[in-house]
């Protein structure tokens, strides 16, 4: 058991002063007024750690390799071709090194948990590794090594398009039959279910990559294993996907999902960019979380999620760094708000009736909904929650003279990235003065992997 003292701390949605946190086995046991004996001071404003609801760790390795115009019209689909070429050479050891490096970057940015939407499963020709969970072990171990909480979301990917289209040879590393996939989920459940800082969910890749029958098999399966296990799916990211879904199912992707499954807050719809008013309303009512990835969606030219409309209806949403073109909490939230300003010609758009601060509204909401989307006992500083929090750098000029509700506005809108000084995950200090104990070694290993892959 240990005690930490904060002069200025965001508890739930209220800023409080002079508070002692008592932490036991990674959980906040007590929050008391005043400085208790033996409490170590946290020097700077304290805010909850952010959940990164959507990551493909391996994609960090080719961020910056696809920002040039090729022969044809560049789009999500041409980006994907470059990604496939890059991934062909990646070994399990490489995947571990890349994941370790990117998870350190996440911690330094202020993410304390990550949802790893994991689809790089097999050898380059599609043959399973001797241990079919080899690639999962590598990314999970990377998270354990660096101290970020992980929700592992093994992906079911079977087809190349609607109507059970045969996958290409570039997709061989991703492909499972339903039975092989369920075996993998079972194996992971057995291996890790008693580990702290770990949650397991499932991720049918998208409606184009799995059939209706497969969804009808895997959703009840995971619900039986764990009623709260997250189910994540890419959906309605691209207009072509919406058109293909309309031709095949005669319904739009989100509409189809709502009509065929009982969605709730344990579902996370990744992107859900292209929605009708009806879909916005029904998704908000279902309780499902939308996983918005503003930087990646901008980078890939996906479109803009209707955040204002969705939020007004009480919809839940989280942020994810997806392709890792940037790992920057402030930039994701800033872009989320700025996209709405640019299209509505207004300022200070994403606010709540109870909180006029855009920064605080966006931060507390995405923290809370992000933790829900990952089934992590986190998302706010409160008794009974994991002791996951950030200490902000009071030497950051944009925070000078900023009191309470201005702290998050300044941190998100007036700093290039969140001014994170220290990071605690389950009560353990994993970032100190902006540094991680493994960062130099991780960077050197990452450099060697890049030399090989590029
Ligand atoms: Zn994704």
pTM: 0.97
Does 239 map to a domain? yes
Question: The domain spanning residue 304 has which CATH number?
Answer: 3.20.20.140
Examine the domain organization and report whether 23 and 79 are in the same domain: no
Catalytic entry in 94, 244, 322, 393? 322
Residue 82: give the domain boundaries.
Answer: 48-373
Name the DSSP letter for residue 192: H
The yes-or-no verdict on residue 327 having pLDDT over 80 is: yes
227 CA distance to ligand 1 centroid (A)? 24
Does 188 map to a domain? yes
Examine the domain organization and report whether 40 and 67 are in the same domain: no
Mean pLDDT of 341-353: 92
Q: Which distant-in-sequence residues (6+ apart) come within 8 Å of 454 by Cβ?
A: 65
pLDDT at 365: 97
Does 81 map to a domain? yes
Does 30 map to a domain? yes
The yes-or-no verdict on residue 336 having pLDDT over 90 is: yes
435-450 core/surface letters (b: 16 or more CB in 10 A; e: else): ebebbeebeebbeebb
Does 445 map to a domain? no
Please say if 271 is a catalytic residue. yes
Instruction: Tell me the pLDDT band of 269, cut-offs 50, 70 and 90.
Output: very high
Q: What is the count of structural domains for the chain? A: 2
Mean pLDDT of 135-139: 98
H helical segments located in 199-328: 212-225, 239-249, 253-260, 277-286, 294-299, 307-312
Whose CA is closest to 417, among 333, 298, 339, 324?
Answer: 333
Does 453 map to a domain? no
Examine the domain organization and report whether 98 and 233 are in the same domain: yes
Examine the domain organization and report whether 30 and 71 are in the same domain: no
Q: Which distant-in-sequence residues (6+ apart) come within 8 Å of 361 by Cβ?
A: 350, 351, 352, 355
| Chosen domain end from 373, 396, 415 | 373
Instruction: Tell me the pLDDT band of 85, cut-offs 50, 70 and 90.
Output: confident
270 CA distance to ligand 1 centroid (A)? 7
413 CA distance to ligand 1 centroid (A)? 26
175-184 pLDDT, tens digit per residue, is 999 999 999 9
Examine the domain organization and report whether 18 and 139 are in the same domain: no
Order across the sheet with 316-319: list the strands: 231-235, 267-271, 289-292, 316-319
pLDDT at 165: 96
pLDDT at 71: 67
208 CA distance to ligand 1 centroid (A)? 14
CA distance 222 to 9: 37
Examine the domain organization and report whether 29 and 161 are in the same domain: no
304-328 core/surface letters (b: 16 or more CB in 10 A; e: else): bbbbbebbeeebbbbbbbbbbbbbb
182-201 core/surface letters (b: 16 or more CB in 10 A; e: else): bebbebbeeebeeeebbbbb
Q: What are phi and psi of 297, to 5 degrees?
A: -65, -35
97-107 pLDDT, tens digit per residue, is 999 999 999 99
Tokens found for residue 210: 């799995």
Examine the domain organization and report whether 327 and 410 are in the same domain: no
Examine the domain organization and report whether 6 and 107 are in the same domain: no
pLDDT at 393: 97
Does 250 map to a domain? yes
185-212 pLDDT, tens digit per residue, is 999 999 999 998 999 999 999 999 999 9
Longest dimension (CA), the chain: 67
Question: The domain spanning residue 419 has which CATH number?
Answer: 2.30.40.10
pLDDT at 16: 97
């Amino acid at each position: 058991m240990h005690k930490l003292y904060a002069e200025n701390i965001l508890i739930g949605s209220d800023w409080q002063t002079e508070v002692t946190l008592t932490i036991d086995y990674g959980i906040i046991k007590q929050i008391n007024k005043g400085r208790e004996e033996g409490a170590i001071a946290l020097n700077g404003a304290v805010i909850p750690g952010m959940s990164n609801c959507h990551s493909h760790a391996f994609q960090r390795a080719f961020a910056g390799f696809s920002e040039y115009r090729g022969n044809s019209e560049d789009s999500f689909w041409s980006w994907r071709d470059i990604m496939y070429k890059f991934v062909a050479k990646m070994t399990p050891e490489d995947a571990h090194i890349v994941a370790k490096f990117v998870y350190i970057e996440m911690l330094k940015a202020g993410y304390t948990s990550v949802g790893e939407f994991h689809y790089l499963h097999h050898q380059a020709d599609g043959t399973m590794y001797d241990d079919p969970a080899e690639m999962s072990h590598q990314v999970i171990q990377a998270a354990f090594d660096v101290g970020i909480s992980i929700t592992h979301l093994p992906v079911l990917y079977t087809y190349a398009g609607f109507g059970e289209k045969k996958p290409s040879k570039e997709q061989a590393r991703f492909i499972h039959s339903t039975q092989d996939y369920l075996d993998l989920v079972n194996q992971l459940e057995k291996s890790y279910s008693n580990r702290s800082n770990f949650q397991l969910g499932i991720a049918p890749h998208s409606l184009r990559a799995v059939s209706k029958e497969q969804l009808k098999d895997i959703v009840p399966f995971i619900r039986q294993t764990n009623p709260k296990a997250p189910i994540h799916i890419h959906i309605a990211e691209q207009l072509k996907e919406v058109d293909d879904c309309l031709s095949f199912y005669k319904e739009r992707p989100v509409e189809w999902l709502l009509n065929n499954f009982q969605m709730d807050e344990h579902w996370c719809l990744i992107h859900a960019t292209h929605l009708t008013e009806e879909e916005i309303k029904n998704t908000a009512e279902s309780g499902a979380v939308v996983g918005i990835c503003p930087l990646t969606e901008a980078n890939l030219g996906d479109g803009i999620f209707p955040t204002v409309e969705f939020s007004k209806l009480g919809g839940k949403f989280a942020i994810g760094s997806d392709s890792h073109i940037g790992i920057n909490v402030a930039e994701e939230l800033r872009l989320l708000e700025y996209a709405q300003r640019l299209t509505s010609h207004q300022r200070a758009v994403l606010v709540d009736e109870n909180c006029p601060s855009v920064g605080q509204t966006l931060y507390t909401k995405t923290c809370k909904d992000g933790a829900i989307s990952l089934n992590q006992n986190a998302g706010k500083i409160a008794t009974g929650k994991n002791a996951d929090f950030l200490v902000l750098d009071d030497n950051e000029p944009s925070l000078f003279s900023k009191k309470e509700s201005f702290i998050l506005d300044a941190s998100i809108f007036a700093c290039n990235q969140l001014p994170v000084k220290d990071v605690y995950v389950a009560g353990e200090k994993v970032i100190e003065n902006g540094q991680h104990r493994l960062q130099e070694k991780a960077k050197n290993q990452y450099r060697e992997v890049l030399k090989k892959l590029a």
